[in-house]
Amino acid sequence: MKSADRLQRFRRQLERIDRRILDWLQRRFHVLEDLTEYKRAANLPIFQPEREQTYRAAIRARLPAEYRDPIDAVFAAIMREARQFEERVLVRGMTRPTEGPSVGEFPFRRVVVVGLGLIGGSIVRALRSYAPRSWIAGVDRDEAARAQARPYLDEVGADGTAWLSDVDLVVLALPVRSIVTWLETYGSHVARGLVLDVGSVKTVICETGWRTVRSPAVFVGGHPMAGAETPGFAASRTDLFVDRPFFLCVPPGMEDAQALRDDLEALLLALGARPLYVTPAAHDRLVTFTSHIYQLVASALAAWVYEMALQEDLDLRQGAGPGMYSMTRLAGSSYELWRDILTMNPQAVEAFSAWVEWLHRQGPPYDWEALFRRARQVYEALYGSRGE
Amino acid sequence: MKSADRLQRFRRQLERIDRRILDWLQRRFHVLEDLTEYKRAANLPIFQPEREQTYRAAIRARLPAEYRDPIDAVFAAIMREARQFEERVLVRGMTRPTEGPSVGEFPFRRVVVVGLGLIGGSIVRALRSYAPRSWIAGVDRDEAARAQARPYLDEVGADGTAWLSDVDLVVLALPVRSIVTWLETYGSHVARGLVLDVGSVKTVICETGWRTVRSPAVFVGGHPMAGAETPGFAASRTDLFVDRPFFLCVPPGMEDAQALRDDLEALLLALGARPLYVTPAAHDRLVTFTSHIYQLVASALAAWVYEMALQEDLDLRQGAGPGMYSMTRLAGSSYELWRDILTMNPQAVEAFSAWVEWLHRQGPPYDWEALFRRARQVYEALYGSRGE
């Protein structure tokens, strides 16, 4: 047989097989669609990570060794796509839940999320998946954000003040300055339930929240260590917080209040995040060195590189390697957001200045061997040792 | 019907469908295995990205709109796993090619790769896939590296000098200092063909290569802008260079030598990289600002953060956010590698010192608004504008 014919025969075989795979995949998504509709109507949990793991392990065990890894990887993709598909089905079919039936153990039946950007949007998506029948309203001044988030929400509004008299949870997913303003203006309107912010500075915000939100409502300062380059609801994801630390600052005197802890942990379970209880002062000190300083260095470095590239007419993009990409990723951050963070956590700019002073004392010439060796300690703390 | 029964019925349906999908996937990989064996024996190209794209587009067009995205994503996973599977089949079945038949248009029939780490290993894998019947030998002093690379190579050695009298291509994938030493020692032993290095500094290396490698052999300085955190052959990948820039410095006077250009472009086509012709001096200046400075800043910053964390007993890992991860990724780099890079491109440390001086003149207080705005220009050059 000629080589071209042999090749053709193989290809036709593969195409026939692929048609069958596609048929079965279509049936699979069709059944999944029905199952999701049914689960939603019966108020059953949609995502069951443990069940999925057991199922995948059973499948993997049945596969012949020579094809095990590739088929297992394909199956992982099927499961991943199935999860996202279920989320879409859920949202598409969403109707206002009938009043009456309890929402099981999830303590937040009425939720208002203020701010529908990346973080607020991801909270909406995660709560919607975890507790499909909770009533969730979203507030954003921006009409486009409201329109994007609308399918995931029971109600949307530009203001939302009217809802504050009857909610279990208010999430403030706004820029830090706006969180303070919101608390000063509306904090005292929240009749009961939990008020949680997600701003990246905690001292100023907690001071305001604890002063303005009044019992039986409780203010807790929050800060998830999660993000993405692209802002906005469109970039939000159900799994943004999964396995990420989530700082929590409970009011002084309530450190041992078990009911509050239970509520907070139910909420973080829904998001998949790991709770880290801290004081506002300890939080702001820690994030100076685990978050804020990196933004300042990235901006100060990229600003200078920009000047040099202009002066010398260098095409930065042409030679950009992986190191440059990771060290300038933060350089796209909005100044307006950071201006407020820096004002509310002044030790961030102090730390930056202290670092520049320290460098200036060190060299030139710099002891690069000592710097590299100490730097590696940080790498290993974060990434674990991966050898030289 | 009871809710548990309904749920069970859905699950049994899904399990039945999954069994069929698994059956067809097994058949698919079985046919693919035969096809790959056949292609190898007939010396036909294994990877055909264009064919794959057309095929996927045709499949996508046939899918019903409601399941199109998830099934397309599953299919992307099938194609990806198929590529990796083919590579493994290829390597497993590899035998020394019979002498005689030409290797089509690929001009490098006898290749020696010196240094079997991340970069050298990725070159071996890419050439092996692209030109299965080229004879490829690997040289590394480290026995473990040789053992890992052995399945991909026709021959391995700790020295490889004996091969230099009859090769079409020698790739020097060593640390920069070792490249210079190799060229001084063996450069004049290469009887013919192309000698290409992949070091990240070019002035010193090209000066050495152009002096020691003698006609009809030709030395070309190379530098792929690709890498990964984890070093070593185990981390090497066939697609490490795909769509990445690859700097090339051809000897003075040979800028217009068409045969050399053709050979270089055939090689970069095999790697999937984009050629960028530069002079060694222009290369070293550009990478100062697109690569070297970022390593120095990452190390100098992480070293200081390490000191601060020790002083204040901060648990950095606890609060590490995405920004810290991307800004300390480079902090794990080996000092030994960088010591030589910095010696051979002294303008990198000069640029670092100049930046510290510049910062020291700027503040405190720093004009963060101006710094953020200029920094954003670099971000947009690299990532494109993604809105605020």
Interface test with A, best of B62, B85, B244, B301 (most A CBs within 10 A): B301
Instruction: Test A74 with B74 for CB contact under 8 angstroms.
Output: yes
Contact of B83 with A34, CB cutoff 8 Å: no
Query: How far is the C-alpha of B86 from the C-alpha of B32, rounded, in Å?
Result: 7
Q: What percent of chain A has pLDDT over 90?
A: 62
Instruction: Test B28 with A34 for CB contact under 8 angstroms.
Output: no
Closest CA to A135 of A172, A187, A83, A170: A170
Q: How far is CA A27 from the centre of its chain?
A: 32
Q: Angle, to 10 degrees, between the axis of helix B258-271 and the axis of helix B118-130? A: 100
pLDDT of residue A151: 87
Residue with tokens 């000897």: B251
**Domain A110-278 -> CATH class:** alpha beta
* CATH architecture, domain A3-92: Up-down Bundle (1.20)
Q: How many H helices and E strands in chain A?
A: 15, 8
Instruction: Test A324 with B382 for CB contact under 8 angstroms.
Output: yes
- At residue A156, the 3 state secondary structure works out as strand
What confidence tens digit (pLDDT) does each residue in B283-305 have? 999 999 999 999 999 999 999 99
Which among B59, B329, B371 is the nearest to A18, CB-wise? B59
Question: Cα Rg for chain B, rounded, in angstroms?
Answer: 25
pLDDT of residue B94: 54
Contact of B248 with B275, CB cutoff 8 Å: yes
What confidence tens digit (pLDDT) does each residue in A249-280 have? 999 999 999 999 999 999 998 898 999 999 99
Beta-carbon count within 10 A of B1 CB: 8
Residue A221 burial by Cβ neighbours in a 10 Å radius (0-12, 13-18, 19+): buried
Closest residue in chain A to residue B385, using alpha carbons only: A332
pLDDT of residue B388: 36
Beta-carbon count within 10 A of B316 CB: 20
pLDDT of residue A104: 53
Would you state the torsion angle of the CA atoms of residues B96, B101, B107, B113, taken in this order, to the nearest 10 degrees? 10
pLDDT of residue B96: 37
Query: How far is the C-alpha of B296 from the C-alpha of B298, rounded, in Å?
Result: 5
Distance from CA of B179 to the nearest CA of A (A): 19
| CATH assignment, A283-383 | 1.10.3660.10
Least confident of A60-64, A297-301, A325-329, B289-293: A60-64
Contact of B35 with A14, CB cutoff 8 Å: yes
Interface test with A, best of B44, B122, B371 (most A CBs within 10 A): B371
In this structure, what DSSP letter does residue B235 have?
A: G
Q: Where are the domains of chain B?
A: 3-92, 110-278, 283-383
- In order along chain B (388 residues), what is the average pLDDT of each group of 10 residues? 78 89 90 84 71 84 85 91 83 48 70 97 90 91 94 92 96 97 97 97 98 97 87 88 92 94 92 93 96 96 96 90 92 92 96 96 94 94 64
Is the predicted pLDDT of residue A306 greater than 90, yes or no? yes
Contact of B353 with A363, CB cutoff 8 Å: yes
Instruction: Test B316 with A35 for CB contact under 8 angstroms.
Output: no
Residues with Cβ < 8 Å from A306, sequence gap 6 or more? B374, B375, B377, B378
Beta-carbon count within 10 A of B192 CB: 13
Distance from CA of A216 to the nearest CA of B (A): 31
Mean pLDDT of chain A: 89
Is the predicted pLDDT of residue A338 greater than 50, yes or no? yes
- What is the pLDDT averaged over residues A114-121? 96
pLDDT of residue B284: 97
Interface test with A, best of B74, B200, B233 (most A CBs within 10 A): B74
Phi, psi at A387, each rounded to 5°: 75, 170
